[in-house]
Copies of this chain bind each other. A is one copy, B any other.
């Protein structure tokens, strides 16, 4: 071993109120490891252990198993010794054995994604020692049985050796329970457990041709390696993709002394939240299970009890459990172990005080002794995120900058999701009730498998994923579904946690629903619902309804309104919206838009009464004919513009001149063509000839944008006239209209100059005709790569630039948005593309052109107004980029305005 290697610290110890690491060392120790260190430092009862750093995960992929064990061995040995000293027990000792757990711990929590092995150190002799030492042979053998099952699955990958989906061990276990006529694992006798152990070991030998390892050190090393390996499982990769976690980060490994919640009636395991993760209410809450390990709570197999009495009563009401039964079978921890409960409350206060954020903690009670296993900033819904942030601000725990820093702009979207229409909801009768696991409302068709959810969604359908319970394998399906409904599980089951993380509506534990995934049906009170049936679910109340229930927009007041005010206060960029109609413009204003960044005029031409005149214009043989048709369109366009300018009174409205290829406006079916030929007084053949003439091989790159305006200047004249006359009409009514005219698809300075001249001349004429003037701007889209490259020239004549990053992405990548479906899924799958560049701006490539465009533009026109109006204008990371390159505003769909505002504020305060 060389000296460099020796200097690298790979293992950080914690326990007994001391620690090598600290809370801020998440990149190195992972979230769990850093928090264990921090908790130990502030005096919480953490089972002692050590953390192997995330850097070793990367090292592992270079050095391989043997290599990494070699460099780790000395420090791991010291770490085990440290634990042994504190726990007064010895790893592998048959009389006084120490058992260990090995858990993953990435920088950002990835719940349920990666592997864990518990009870390491047990073997055929140690189990006897444990039985003797604890005086609980049943517990010892149950632990050994669990250990073999977990190790067999996670480390030895036994289940990969069979073709069926059923778990090898569960199969043996179920058979045993059947034979013994019992329902739960706990009812099995110690002898049954011993038998199980030997059956498990046989099956392992049979399938893997390897003996279950008896050597504790071997068990430990293999478990550590398995955790490193689990960083690369498909489900972990999917999760990282969904959550933008870089592959390079790696995971840390936490090795800790085992503590047991399953040592009988005075033992328990639980999870707790310092505030309500769904609503954000400042109320301590959580769930626990008596005589169980932590996994049992999360797995959702037994219905957990509430920690607080208040919570327990609330739960009973929802679950329709009467007080007597509640007390008997579901008593709260507050009632069941009042002292331990008080200690837990003390710690949850300390933790929230220490971290100044809502904590999600795991604990185990081993024979009346409380251990805190983990704490982390709790995942929460968008609503909870905003409420907790605002209340902590009010409590003086955090400042505005910290608050904004904690707001995830993507989650802001959840608050904007529609909720069920109140009246419709009042009339609807629920067909079932479950736990309100993740708030919101969703309507969709039932599917029973994740793959189906993905397929149906790809077909444009809205689906609700209905399952008995979900597992990490269901991730992609959950992402595809509008909502999730499970018949089992509690508020902290897999489905609930993941759905809240996704901001997706979810009901868990709806016990009256029977789900038969194989037959693809669910049955409620004897009524059968097949795949494809419509249901509606309310994640805020837990109610399930038959059919579709209309939804309405969320309200944007209270904490949400305050958040948006704060965002405005802290951001440099303005947020405009893309809107083509007065209605959308008004909606955008409600969402806080301070202008229209893109008003597409072509949509106006598709309406019944206009399309005829538009077609007449397109099919005219000469300018005179076009002018005649345009005269019919002028008053219609003018009234459109009056509407939208009025709706945005006082704010700029950027109106883009006609953009799409003319072919799009022509009729392509025979009936319409015949009718049109008749209207125009020409033969059907002549009409078809015209239509064919206008057809293009690559319309995206064809005769469109300012190429239309420069070949048919009369169109530009008409539109400029309609806009300015509309503004003048409004002015005379005392309305302050601020029109900005935008030239699309500029590629050369000459193109822009010619269009801008036409516009400015027409406006000059209008001002002379009407003896009055109004302020206006003339600018351009920058959406053709060449425009960005010659932006210095164009900027000399333009009042503003608006980056059209949709088209810019199409041309910079050479991807047709209409055709990308043929290879994008494969490209994402093979990691050629990290994300869809039409969703998240490609900063590396397209971003270079945007930066060039901004810099060159400002080099000749320092006060040039610059914005973006592509779909990216509402995507948080893209908004960040826009701020970084110095844009004045972003423009996005009205719905995304609040998201953009928060993103803009965050990037500004982060400097």
Contact = CB atoms under 8 A, between A and B. Distances in A.
A812 interface: yes
Contacts of A790: 844-845
Contact of A815 (B701, B710, B831, B846): B701
Interface string A776-819: 00000001111001100000000000000001001111111011
Contact of A814 (B747, B844, B845): B747
Contact of A833 (B745, B750, B830): B750
A885 interface: no
A513 interface: no
Interface in A805-843: 807, 810-816, 818-819, 822-823, 826-827, 830-833, 842
B812 A786 contact: yes
Contacts of A846: 786
A698 interface: yes
Nearest to A753: B832
Interface residues of A, number: 47
Contacts of A710: 823, 826-827, 830, 832
Interface string A687-708: 0000000001111111100010
A814 B745 contact: yes
A814 B786 CA distance: 8
A747 to B, nearest CB: 5
A848 interface: yes
Contacts of A747: 813-815, 845
Contacts of A751: 832
A669 B19 CA distance: 76
A214 interface: no
A699 B702 CA distance: 13
A659 to B, nearest CB: 12
Given A786-B846, A811-B812, A848-B789, A699 B696 contact: no
Contacts of A812: 784-786, 789, 811
A819 B701 contact: yes
A404 to B, nearest CB: 33
A214 B696 CA distance: 61
Contact of A816 (B697, B750, B786, B848): B697
Contacts of A827: 707, 710
Given A696-B818, A701-B701, A707-B823, A813 B786 contact: yes
A494 B816 CA distance: 51
Nearest to A821: B703
A698 B816 CA distance: 6
Interface string A257-282: 00000000000000000000000000
Contact of A810 (B701, B745, B815): B701
B700 A826 contact: no
A367 B697 CA distance: 69
A336 B578 CA distance: 85
Contacts of A56: none
Given A710-B832, A811-B811, A819 B703 contact: yes
Interface string A482-507: 00000000000000000000000000
A697 B818 contact: yes
A411 to B, nearest CB: 30
A122 interface: no
A810 to B, nearest CB: 6
Contacts of A844: 789-790
A743 to B, nearest CB: 13
Given A789-B812, A813-B786, A822 B703 contact: yes
A748 interface: yes
A565 B216 CA distance: 81
A373 interface: no
Contacts of A745: 814
Nearest to A752: B832
A849 B711 contact: no
Contacts of A321: none
A754 interface: yes
B784 A814 contact: yes
Sorted nearest first, the 9 A-B pairs with minimum C-beta distance are A701-B816, A698-B816, A786-B845, A697-B818, A702-B819, A703-B822, A696-B819, A784-B814, A698-B700
Given A696-B819, A701-B814, A785-B849, 7 more contacts: A697-B819, A698-B700, A701-B810, A701-B815, A703-B823, A747-B815, A807-B814
24 contacts: A696-B818, A697-B816, A698-B698, A698-B699, A698-B701, A698-B819, A699-B819, A700-B814, A701-B701, A701-B814, A701-B815, A701-B816, A702-B822, A710-B823, A710-B826, A710-B832, A711-B823, A745-B814, A751-B832, A785-B811, A785-B812, A785-B814, A786-B812, A786-B813
